[in-house]
Amino acid sequence: MVTFSPLLIAMLMIPALGIPALIVMTRRLLRRFSANGPQSEKNREKTDEARFVTNAFQELVIKLRANEKELERLQKLAEARANRIEDLSRNILESIPSGVVSFDPGLTITMANSSAQRILELPPGLDGKKAGEVFGKELTGIIEAGAPVERCEIAYTSASGKKLWLGFSLTSLIGDSGEPGGRILVFTDLTGLKILERQAELRKRLASLGEIAAGVAHELRNPMAVIAGYVKMLEKQHLHHADAKILKTISKEVAAMDAIINGFLAFARPKPPETAPMTNEDLKLLLETCIAQSFQENPDIRTVLEMDGQGFTIEADDVQLKQVFVNIARNSAQAMGGAGTFTVRAERSGGEAIISLSDTGHGIPEEMKEKIFLPFYTTKEEGTGLGLAIAHGIIESHGGNIEAESAPGKTTFRIRLPLSSRRIAS
């Protein structure tokens, strides 16, 4: 019959008992062997064997416990590193100016960074919502189509009705298994860039038209001067009443043509502004004067002037700025048909002074927005269409820019002028 020593049995039971239990068992064996009185040679061997195993296991336990602590330390380091990487990834997504939105395979939003919410004017708490519940039809159709898109541009209307121009890409979101697990949308607001591109294109077109206008004005001025001279000579003659009336009509039309020619020249060869420091209080007085002059014949138009509490100073030619404000205000009066609200707000924003002039008129049709600053373009029965073109040139010569925003029932002309770097003595 095969017999097994207690130590061998204990070693076979390591998986079930565990190392601490084995040590206890071994110590009990040693006590039992010691309690049997004088030990035979065979018992001494067993006792030595048990003591050796016990010591070996004690050393093993010490090492295992040390390794266990090291593993715990490494696990904590790994968890801390994973948390740092997760926080860094989240901070990167929240810090970039581009919008980032991820979707699961069912087109449910799983993540949207703050830039996405800011650009598209979306409320917080988008996780769990479907793409069609959040985005306009312009983007929803592209997202639902699912085809990868790289560097595409579209016109988009935000939640508040603001017109945006977005550059975006749509790619598959790869899961842990390497298979597509959803989609990710990355987009950037290109509206400001598009405005700058349009302004640059407008400046080029205005420069070309200015050269043409200067040539036309020069060619017209000489013959008109001859006509005006002959009319004055004939007016000195004792003419029949009917003839005198004809001369008066000719003289009136010559004066009208002369005004048009002067407008051509003002647009083609604008006078450089004679700038001087203008504080926000000076600007307020100028705006009050322009409003009073522009609407004195329109008592049913309510006027509102709002000035930002922050003080600022610009470098401006008050005569030329008055021409700009009056021109816009009179256009607004005509657009409102003599009744409505005209609002002017001047404020400081960064390194600029922003002057917004808004009316509650019929608005500017979409197809006309790109043309309103072009010379000779007008929808009025009377007028040369030079007013806004000249206003654009004046603001440009001041180092600023002017743009128009319009929707049915509201039009806003927004003028941006750089702040002065000079200090005004108090």
Domain ranges of the chain: 6-78, 96-189, 194-268, 276-418
What average pLDDT is seen over the chain? 77
Residue 112, pLDDT score: 85
What token pair was written down for 353? 């002074």
Higher-confidence residue of 116 and 359: namely 359
Which segment of 92-106, 322-336, 337-351, 378-392 scores lowest on mean pLDDT?
378-392
Q: Which is the CATH superfamily of the domain at 276-418?
A: Histidine kinase-like ATPase, C-terminal domain (3.30.565.10)
Out of 200-204, 260-264, 335-339, 412-416, give the one with best mean pLDDT: 412-416
Residue 236, pLDDT score: 75
Query: How far apart are alpha carbons 46 and 117 in whole angstroms?
Result: 78
Average pLDDT over residues 94-109: 83
DSSP β-bridge partners for residue 403? 414
194-268: what fold?
Helix Hairpins (1.10.287)
Average pLDDT over residues 72-77: 78
Q: For the segment 1-58, what is each residue's pLDDT rounded down to a tens digit?
A: 444 455 455 555 544 445 555 556 555 655 555 555 555 566 666 666 667 766 776 7
What token pair was written down for 7? 């130590």
Counting other chains too, the contacts that 56-64 makes at CB distance below 8 Å and 24 or more residues apart are: 57/19, 57/22, 57/23, 57/26, 58/23, 60/19, 61/19, 61/20, 61/23, 64/19
Average pLDDT over residues 360-372: 80
Q: For the segment 116-149, what is each residue's pLDDT rounded down to a tens digit?
A: 888 888 888 778 888 888 887 878 888 888 777 8
What's the CATH code, domain 96-189? 3.30.450.20
Write down the pTM of the prediction: 0.53
Which segment of 74-88, 117-131, 147-161 scores lowest on mean pLDDT?
74-88
